[in-house]
Structure 1
Amino acid sequence: MKLRAIGLGLCLLVFSLGAAPGLAQAGPLQDAPLQQALEAQLRAGVGAAATDDEIETLTVLERFYQARGLEPLWVQESGAGPKARQLSALLTAADLDALDPADYGAEDIAALLGSTAVTALAELEIRLTQGLIRFAADLGQGRTTPHVADPELFVFREEVLREEVLAVAAGAQDLEAFLQRYRPNTPRYDRQKAALAEYRALATQGGWEPIPEGPTLKPGMSDPRVGLLRARLRLWGDLKPENDLAEAGGDPDFYDEPMVEAVKWMQYRHGLTQDGAVGKKSLAALNVPIEARIEQMVLNLERRRWMPDDLGRRHIFVNLADQLLKLVEGEKTLLDMPVVVGRPYHSTPVFSHQMTYLVMNPYWNVPPSIARKELLPKIKDDVSYLASNNFTLFSDWSSGASVVDPVTVNWAAVNRNSFPYKLRQGSGDGNALGRLKFMFPNRFNIYLHDTPAKTLFGKDERTFSHGCIRVSDPPGLAAAVLAKTGDWPLQRINQTIDSGERRIVTLDQPLPVHISYLTSWVNKDGSVHFRKDVYGRDAKLAEALLGARAGGWR
């Protein structure tokens, strides 16, 4: 479990110890050359303390060392100690967590490790402590602030406090185990880290070259491009050597049956229709450069650092980039299903909340923006549109609003800016919310619901809504959600739906719902998955996280 901000106790301990004397009155150790050099280094700082964060870190260090009587953590007068060398190695290896060792001064630290000069040792001491604080914070909460990187991310990280890092690190015997407390303690993070290392190793070997464009590659074809495809599938592990007929003397350019199954698996990993043929979409996925895939992994490891380790023993997880919903209990996925999410210009935000009830046979209060922009032109064209589509017109949005006969309204005089009415669509098969609505009340007015537009679930990319999330099997989801609430088997749910009765069912226990955005992850079976950046959120995060290093492949 990550070591998080657990209160003020440790902070008060550190600061109360250092509240009395100033640095100039640190005690008898002050006269030792190393302590004197350390005091001077703390006053001068190391590197350019230009940002508020760097200045705050240096202030924390001053108070920490004051409380210790200027006793170093990492060095002695004879040189760097074993813990200094261990910490240096850990900071140098920060790239294994998709973090940049340069952010922690790893190169400067390594250059100082062999020094015995007092001033150099004092600098090494401060650099190591600064590096430790920054590395622990970045592991525990991520390098970026989500809503600063992207205003549509409503993820609130648990802050890692510098004072707590130092208070605990001072007594830590094994720094690797100490830092592990801050790293996300989930197999999902560990699997992605391992895949990142594999892809980086592959990149050092040259990665892969694009497969030339051409006609769709289909089973039974003979084409030199099939040979290139075969090699790619072997490289990625989609085609196992024992299944490759070319290994047994077959024609490498012939699109045989094992190739079909390998292509389907590759398509599954990229969220594509598993038809076993390589058309434009499959070819585009095959030809994304390895540098781009590595960057995707780096970005999604950062997203994992924002998340709590514990999503709830039983929870719903929606990945907007994958357009897939999962109901999870423990480490087991109870069910999953395709969903439709917001269009790019109505993108669904990232946030978490608690589902508390669901509605069977709901009516739909049409949001004013949809009523004005989309329905008003249809009403003005034909006023019978309202009755034909089961809409009731109300005078306004107040609780005492009266029903208005649409025929009595002078629609020619109504426009987007003068539309006081509320539209409510009654329950039924044509209702935009379908027959079921799953509610986790939130400020975005986002919820899960049924839809009459079932054909959209068969598409690879399902970004068609105004922001809410449409689910492909509402009764199945309802049965799973209500499994812990009363007697609501699937048969009873369907009977209630068929009755047409509007029914609200409150959950016995709130169910956490996490709306996420992941464009890369690794499943328990080891399969590495990538998805298209449908909302452009990878690009925003890359700019915030990597700056000038981002997107050289774009």
Structure 2
Amino acid sequence: MLSAALSVTAPAAAAAQTAPAAPTDQGIGPAIAEAIQARLGTVSDPAIAAYYAARGGEPLWVLSDGDDAGLSENGHLAIAAFAAANDHALNPDNYAPIDLARRADAAATAEDYATLDIDLTRNYVRYGTHLASGRVQPNVVSKALNIFPEIPDPADLLNAVGQSPDFGTYLEALAPQSPSYARLKQRLAEYRDKAARGGFTHVPAGATLKPGMTDPRLDALRRRMAEEDYMQAAAHAGDVYDGALVEAVKQFQAYHGLTVDGVIGPETLAEINTSITQRLIQMELNMERRRWMPDHLGSTYIFVNLADQVLKVVKDEKTIHTARVVVGKPYHATPVFSRNMTYVEVNPFWNVPQSIAVNEYLPKLIKSPAALSGQNIRVFRGDTEVNPASVAWASYQGTGLPYQLRQDPGDKNALGRIKFMFPNAFNIYIHDTPSKALFDRSERYFSHGCIRVSDPFALGEVLLSAQGFDKARLEQIRDSGERQVITLKEPVPVHLTYLTAWMNKDGSTHFRQDIYGRDEALLKALARAMRENL
């Protein structure tokens, strides 16, 4: 299990050797406070040091009565939460529950209790931060992850210890409170149980298996489908690949983003034979991603899972529209971020990005200045149109273009006939496309980064019907050929995400391939953080 730790050092043991002995005539409580104050200079987290200083060194977790002291109920609850961190795909070792429990039992002196209290506080802040906002921060993992989770204020975490009427409930509430996180946490526990019972049966390699064929691997395939609850073990018998077994494989394909045809070729077989250990890792990584996301995404919002290549419009926690999308190629990977959609444009111009203009269109213009005329692409310098034949295109190789290429509205326009704008620094938006056939593919990574959506006018109706624009009216504007910008009365949050494992409300478990390598990058970042901080 991988998990990160905050970079906190606590040389309490060294400090204990030089701290003055506590007076014995004032009870252990004041002596613990004095011992804590004597160690504040060794506490590397300034928020923790400031918190204790403001309390005059009063312990947070230790209760005292005369010369007796012991760990408070909240202290026991915190250590129990640390020990159960694995339930949230966190590594309990990062929070030292065994060591803290042992020290709590053995503590006898003011120095023992002081170091215990400080170390418990340090681990509690670490645990609360990891549980609430993630073990590593997204933009540190990759610059393509442009989301910045809200990290809890250590002072708020510490104040909650004494102020929460039910500290155990408070600890549970530090985790994301979204149903999607709770479902994945539940499924992680269930798959761990499956792993403990032996994991998944391996289905041997062989020729492509199609419905109606016979094959000696059917027994193994039946066991494999039953292990992941796609069918009951006794629902299919015999040596012909048909009936319930074919339907189980189709369901498996649907839940793994594959072509749903019941045919077991190399791609489907590879997914079938992915180990349960790998599936557990995927779930753990995606629980980390869920910690990066806010609990409330908006009353109405657009959710695009780049790994799934699907767009959903959600209103009041119910999906009201679903559409297939095409997203960026691996070398033009679509970034992860959230912005508000503010307007829709029918019959848009396409201002060709400089990277595409230089890398893809400049070589064509060098060969023939008229090369782009058939695509309705015109050349501008500022607001002035330029005759392509008057430009020495070859002189701009490797230097960038001082010209803007603009494609007029129409059927050939790369953006299709409508685009949905949520202004951002990445020049990413949702739009129509003339390349409709790509939506039929199970993997749809073909764009330069923008998101192409199937049936975009149906999406337009969902977003604009309250403003009087149904699909028919939008298509009427399209057919007029006139460019029209429609401002949304209420901006709609758009969340571009990357999730390779999740559990739906219907109980189905879904996995997707890590086409952008972001699972691998996150796994390495967590391993690095663990090495640096444990």
TM-score using structure 1 length: 0.86
Offset, 1:170: 0.9
Offset, 1:363: 1.1
Partner of residue 156, structure 1: 148
* CA displacement 1:306-332 (0-9 Å, x = unmatched): 111110010000111111100110121
**1:43-192 pair list within 5 angstroms:** 43-44=38-39, 54-56=44-46, 58-63=48-53, 65-66=55-56, 70-76=58-64, 77-118=68-109, 119-192=111-184
Partner of residue 529, structure 1: 510
Partner of residue 8, structure 2: none
* CA displacement 1:231-256 (0-9 Å, x = unmatched): 11100011135xx434xxx32x4312
- Which residue, out of 278, 284, 295, partners 2:281? 295
Q: How many pairs are equivalent? A: 508
Partner of residue 10, structure 2: none
Asked whether the 8 Å contact 1:42–1:58 carries over to 2, the reply is no
Q: Hey, what's the Cα distance between the residues in 1 that align with 2:490 and 2:193?
A: 46
Q: Hey, what's the Cα distance between the residues in 2 that align with 1:150 and 1:62?
A: 36
Q: Look up the equivalent residue of 1:458 and give its one-letter code.
A: D
**1:435-474 pair list within 5 angstroms:** 435-474=417-456
- Which residue, out of 199, 203, 206, partners 1:211? 203
Asked whether the 8 Å contact 2:201–2:220 carries over to 1, the reply is no
The runs of at least 4 aligned residues of structure 1 exceeding 6 Å deviation read 27-30
Partner of residue 491, structure 2: 510
Q: Secondary structure at the match of 1:403?
A: strand
Q: Look up the equivalent residue of 2:397 and give its one-letter code.
A: N
Distance 1:100 1:56, change over 3 A: farther
Q: Look up the equivalent residue of 1:200 and give its one-letter code.
A: R
Offset, 1:28: 11
Which structure 1 residue ranges, 5 or more long, are not aligned? 1-23
Asked whether the 8 Å contact 1:34–1:122 carries over to 2, the reply is no
Partner of residue 265, structure 2: 279
Asked whether the 8 Å contact 2:62–2:69 carries over to 1, the reply is no
Name which of structure 1's ranges 510-519 and 69-78 shifts more when overlaid on structure 2. 69-78
Offset, 1:512: 0.5
Asked whether the 8 Å contact 1:260–1:276 carries over to 2, the reply is yes
Aligned: 1:476 with 2:462: no
Q: Hey, what's the Cα distance between the residues in 1 that align with 2:469 and 2:193?
A: 52
* CA displacement 1:396-443 (0-9 Å, x = unmatched): 2x2xx3212223334444424263221111111111000001011111
Q: Look up the equivalent residue of 1:245 and give its one-letter code.
A: A
- Which residue, out of 499, 520, 530, partners 1:539? 520
Offset, 1:102: 1.3
Q: Hey, what's the Cα distance between the residues in 2 that align with 1:245 and 1:145?
A: 46
Distance 1:413 1:506, change over 3 A: same
- Which residue, out of 219, 235, 257, partners 2:243? 257
Root mean square deviation of aligned Cα: 2.5
Q: Look up the equivalent residue of 1:70 and give its one-letter code.
A: E
Q: Secondary structure at the match of 2:355?
A: helix
Q: Hey, what's the Cα distance between the residues in 1 that align with 2:243 and 2:489?
A: 50
* CA displacement 1:50-69 (0-9 Å, x = unmatched): xxxx5335414532542xx6
Aligned: 1:417 with 2:399: yes
Q: Hey, what's the Cα distance between the residues in 1 that align with 2:231 and 2:40?
A: 55
* CA displacement 1:230-289 (0-9 Å, x = unmatched): 111100011135xx434xxx32x4312111111111111111111111111111111111
- Which residue, out of 258, 265, 270, partners 2:256? 270
Aligned: 1:367 with 2:367: no
Q: Hey, what's the Cα distance between the residues in 2 that align with 1:193 and 1:133?
A: 22
Distance 1:235 1:42, change over 3 A: farther
TM-score using structure 2 length: 0.90
Asked whether the 8 Å contact 1:263–1:276 carries over to 2, the reply is yes
Asked whether the 8 Å contact 1:75–1:121 carries over to 2, the reply is no
Q: Secondary structure at the match of 1:245?
A: coil
Partner of residue 194, structure 2: 202
Partner of residue 406, structure 1: 388
**1:284-363 pair list within 5 angstroms:** 284-363=270-349
Q: Look up the equivalent residue of 1:453 and give its one-letter code.
A: S
Offset, 1:157: 1.4
Offset, 1:175: 2.4
Partner of residue 19, structure 1: none
Q: Hey, what's the Cα distance between the residues in 1 that align with 2:45 and 2:187?
A: 36
Which structure 2 residue ranges, 5 or more long, are not aligned? 1-18
Offset, 1:100: 1.1
Distance 1:89 1:362, change over 3 A: same
Q: Hey, what's the Cα distance between the residues in 2 that align with 1:61 and 1:419?
A: 57
Name which of structure 1's ranges 114-123 and 147-156 shifts more when overlaid on structure 2. 114-123
Partner of residue 16, structure 1: none
Q: Hey, what's the Cα distance between the residues in 2 that align with 1:82 and 1:405?
A: 80
Asked whether the 8 Å contact 1:479–1:489 carries over to 2, the reply is yes
